[in-house]
Structure 1
Amino acid sequence: MSSSDILRISTQYTLYNAYAVLSLGILGNIINILVFLRIKLFRGNRSVFFLIVESFSNVGYEIVSLILTILTSVYGDDGTGRSDPWCKIKFMLAQVFLLITYFMIGCASADQFFSTHSYFNRQQCCTMKLARYSAFIISFIWLIHSIAFALFFNVEPSVGCVISNTNALRYATFFFYPVIAGFLPMIIAALFSLFAFRNVRRIVRRQVPIVRRRLDRQMTAMVFTRVIFFICLIFPYSFYRIYAINHPTSRTQPLPYAIAQLIQAIFLSLVRINSGVNFYIFVLTSSQFRRQVKFVLVKKCWKQIKRTLAGVNNQTAPNQTEYEESHRESDKNA
């Protein structure tokens, strides 16, 4: 198989995968936001708040990825290998949305651990005000970090958009990808979700209202499954990025470059899946969440759409009648 065939396969895989995953992902994250905001049971729940922030971050990442995919389908590439500003902007936007998503998953896991803890004082140590402050501070830190780190990305004619600074390359190799975008959010999410799962198994023994008990079980199951998929999908990509930034393949070597592009497309598709899979995980994990989705979409959204359309029709009818009456009056006068 020639390098041109591999590049064509890589491009086709990227386009088909991106359009399918991103369209489903945007839809799923929007439904997540609607359900979490419209169900009274979820209001005031800190884990739900972190999942809402994660869903908004996922939508941001998916929109950026969709723009890059459209550019690739129209021009043959996304343009980051030819323009320094676009190279920096692409990396900055992708990184800030991904990091917010990673750490919101960890925050949801940590909050679920504290909210299901047997000691009342630990349940109360996290408040909604603290959750909002935490989400804002985390988002602000990663925005500043992404802007600063993106400055070290430049276009090299032979390899494309890469880190050009030696110190920045060391930082990315030994700290950013293995720790910040790798083990740190994974370990936080994994440990706290396991502890929360242990707590919720003991919740039957405590005097907890049945509504609260069901909500804790639902949220723990949803967050726990989300963390499993998060680790499985992001772990391979983190190690791939460490290798890729240290061993960029030159375009002067057609076959190795084509193979590298195909491998990159496969690993990048895992990141897209991670950003769009949360809604479908929740639906498969929780029968209660399925009922809540049905309630919001059918009982709330669809009824509201029908009332809006009925209101438009009711307004149109009198306008039409007035129009006909005015014409009849003008004919009489004539």
Structure 2
Amino acid sequence: MEFFDLSIIWALIIGFGVIMYVLMDGFDLGLGILYPFAPDETSRDVMMNSVAPVWDGNETWLVLGGAGLLGAFPLVYSVFLPALYIGVFLMLAGLIFRGIAFEFRFKARRSRRWWNRAFCWGSAVAAFAQGAVVGAYIQGFAVEDFTYVGGALDWLTPFTVLTGLGLMIGYALLGATWLILKSEGHVQAWAYRIAPPLLVGVLAVFATISVWTPFVDGAVRSRWFDHLAVIWVLPALALGCALWLWRAVRRRQEGQPFVATLGLFIFTYLGLVASKWPVIVPPDHTIWDAASAPGSQLFLLIGVLFVIPIVLAYTAWTYWVFRGKVRPDDGYH
């Protein structure tokens, strides 16, 4: 197998791992963002119980993607970590606090409100940091001789703040539609009410980012307008999913809003990939520049090809076992 082929295969594997993490961990981060706005404590019990059995399995995709990225494209780590150290630290700290809250909130009595806050703030910080990292990837890094030469806070700009807030709203929408699917009664009614304004917020932020991005990255601007008929298919499909979501919520359908939101995320993600491909370390380092030796890639690929089916099977089995509606007295603790 040629080096060229291995690099593309690994790019597809890591891209798949990233979108799986965004979709599967996104809705429980979204529930954490919505936590303070829930109608009552019973609603918060339902929200946490709906993701308690699956949240840790969802993060498997983050570990898989991160480990694969280190082995297959080491240049990405050598640039991204110094450039995004603070952002990545905030993301991991948020995920840690969110995970601790899952374990302790169910057992706490007098201190439950503090674990509620840990769940909320941990989810919000992690979501914002992830969105800011995406924004930093779009705007690029100061790289010379495959070494990051910028400052520790160069990633934090008005553009990355917008992408961070945008992903928070997007995750909140994903959490609301998940709650529509998994809850009933007044909790589901509340989720139906908040989904439309969250969708409007997501579309407003996405539109602003779409207008701003060509001014941030000239290469993206050229690609968008040189391949207008092809690349704009993906935003059109994303808007189609948004319309589907709006109609499904108005008709009080339960499963379709969540599926439509997944589609909205998938087509937006594919639009980002199409805009930057094959650059993996902006502004101009491609996947072949960043790749490790072919022997290393092949060795890791053999292991990953065994691991991914197992993770997929475990994930499917977990969601099947915990299918159906969640009630306040349910839970695995």
**TM band (smaller chain):** 0.3 to 0.5
Q: Which has the larger radius of gyration?
A: 1
More helix, by proportion:
1
User: TM-score normalised to the size of structure 1?
Assistant: 0.36
User: TM-score normalised to the size of structure 2?
Assistant: 0.36
